[in-house]
Amino acid sequence: MRLKNYVSMITGVSSGSGIGRAIARLFAMEGSSLVLSSYRQDEAAMRALAGELEDYGSRVLLFDGDLSSEETVRKLVAAAEMQFGKVDVLVNSIGISQQLPLSQLTLADWERMLSVDLTAVFLTCREVLPLMLRQNFGRIINVASQIGQKGAVECCHYAAAKAGVIGFTKSLAREVGGSGITANCIAPGPIITEMLANTPPEWVKNKKAELVIPRIGEAFEVAPTAVFLASAPDGNLYTGQTLGPNCGDVML
């Protein structure tokens, strides 16, 4: 169990088919206690998820709130500290997506995208960091996207937010590297989640044809990258890096 005795905070676990929830399951299987953050998610569904994870032996704290709010993030971190006394790993899997041509993109669309996909990452990292500095150890893992590396049609605001996550994480890694804390990104390629549910079949067909590994990935295939970066000695020497489980969509 590579994460035994860890306390891991994972944001963005609302979606039943999402990457955040897949990471939470694998972290529980690897022995970590969990602080799980969702937003406006059905309470019964979240309790069911907690029960599932507790069956692996994990202790689970559930939190519901909008993490683009400074006050809400402070409450989240305070609840985690009160319950567990520490946070060893922060996984920011929170995110939304939207496709619109730039000519139709409103300021409200732009601000909402950056608020959820970038500002929430900044806030959670900033508020968790003192706990990690106190113990001279921490693993920060921010989920970006390959679109933040290569761009995509009708995704200017989404690409900007995810590229911002990557740049933010590199800078944070340089800032805290001497304090036993690492900061890395995961930039998945197309993954079967609720975000992809309304994508036209023709787009999926064409996208598969573009990929070196010609298929769309699944969330459970991304989760092991987070375990790798969180665990020791596996992730010890990785910081400021962007790992890409993306079927060859981006090669660096």
- DSSP 8-state secondary structure symbol assigned to residue 64: E
> For the chain, where are the alpha helices, taking DSSP H only?
19-29, 43-54, 70-84, 107-114, 120-135, 147-150, 156-176, 201-210, 219-230
Sorted by sequence, the CB contacts under 8 Å of residue 11 that are 6+ apart come out as 20, 37, 67, 91, 92, 93, 94, 120, 124
* Cα Dmax for the chain: 51
Return contacts of 194-198, CB within 8 angstroms, 24+ apart. Answer: 194/15, 194/16, 194/17, 194/18, 195/15, 195/18, 195/96, 195/97
Instruction: Tell me if 138 sits within 8 A of 91, measured CB to CB.
Output: no
Active site residue 158: yes
d(CA 208, CA 190): 9
Q: What are the CA-CA distances from residue 26 to residues 40, 77, 226 (Å)?
A: 23, 22, 9
> How many residues comprise the chain?
252
User: Which amino acid is located at 96 in the chain?
Assistant: I
Catalytic residue among 6, 39, 56, 158: 158
Q: Enumerate the active-site residues.
A: 158
